[in-house]
Chain A
Amino acid sequence: MEAKFTEAYPKAPDAAREAECGRVSDMLDLMIDGEASSEEQRFFNDHIEECVNCFENHQKQKLLKGLVSGHLKRVIVPQSLVRSIKARIQETL
């Protein structure tokens, strides 16, 4: 399915397209972490509208971040910890 979809797009000049894909690939983390400048965002979004591979890589990278932020269970703080902290602080005075 993926192959057919890719073929439907006209071929861009290879070298230029590859360079763009490389730049987009380097920007994946900046994009998913909200660290890209508005100019970088524009470039990135324009490119992934036309490039299925980069679009999919972006989806995967977002998924990966989501797995950590959305699925990693938080550990429960032991109830005694606040008491211990306060007690130790008073001891050191």
Chain B
Amino acid sequence: MSDQTGKQLSKEEKDARFEAELLPVLDPLYNFAYRLTLDEDDANDLVQETYLKAYRFFDYFEQGTNAKAWLFRILKNSFINEFRKKSKQPAKVDYSEVEGYYNTDDVEGEGGVATTTDMRTESVQDLIGDEVASALNALPVDFRTVIILCDLEGFTYEEMAKILDIPIGTVRSRLHRARNSLKEKLEKYAKSMGYNS
């Protein structure tokens, strides 16, 4: 198939290629793991597991192909096959965050926040980021996944279909439902801040 076929890499060559092609994906991969597990230690384990598998199967990886999509696919499979089995709650949701989210109405009653905010300040930007994170974390993991892959990591529908092992039509419909759900959650927040959607 490719030029690589049949050519056995020395350990040094393999390590060098592994580092050059796969390690640069560490940042997005860790972020993806964190958004799936919502826990730093779990994300750590999941990423290590992913790189171990990638190293083991590195001979099957064709140089120059989409390393990022390949690693994301391995990580997603590890998450489904192993990680969720270990965890007692399959789709882990941080309920304190969800609770906090739904209680924003009460906070607004105190006044102040909505009337004195300046959208340019860093703290407001942080606040928006926190709300987006809370709303996203409250979504079922399948919905969360497509939004992260598409909006945060910029994968195409075709790449997402490969990573998730689902047809492109399913990617589209899942993304559509995920966004509706996210929109609903954020609209509640927007209203609590005095914005009408």
Contacts and interface: CB of A to CB of B under 8 A. Distances in A.
A76 B62 CA distance: 29
B48 interface: yes
B101 interface: no
Contacts of B126: 73
B26 interface: yes
B47 A81 contact: yes
A19 interface: no
B9 interface: no
Interface string B32-55: 001000001001100110011001
B9 to A, nearest CB: 14
A6 interface: no
Interface in A65-93: 65, 67-69, 71-75, 77-78, 81-82, 84-85, 88-89, 92-93
Given A73-B129, A89-B51, A61 B179 contact: yes
B151 interface: yes
A81 B11 CA distance: 22
B48 A84 contact: yes
Contacts of A81: 26, 30, 44, 47-48
Q: Which of A30, A35, A72 has the most C-beta atoms of chain B within 10 angstroms of its own C-beta?
A: A72
A91 to B, nearest CB: 9
* Interface secondary structure of B, over-half rule: helix
A35 B150 CA distance: 11
Given A35-B157, A69-B151, A64 B179 contact: yes
A69 B128 CA distance: 12
B50 to A, nearest CB: 9
Contacts of B18: 89
A71 B128 contact: yes
A29 to B, nearest CB: 6
Given A81-B44, A81-B48, A74 B27 contact: yes
B45 to A, nearest CB: 10
B164 interface: no
Nearest to B160: A33
Interface string B164-180: 00000000100110010
B138 interface: no
B193 interface: no
Contact of B147 (A30, A60, A68, A73): A68
| Interchain residue pairs A-B with the least CB separation, the first 6 | A68-B151, A71-B129, A77-B30, A85-B51, A73-B129, A75-B34
Interface of B: 11, 18, 23, 26-27, 30-31, 34, 40, 43-44, 47-48, 51-52, 55-56, 125-126, 128-130, 132-133, 136, 147-148, 150-152, 154, 156-157, 172, 175-176, 179, 182-183, 186, 197
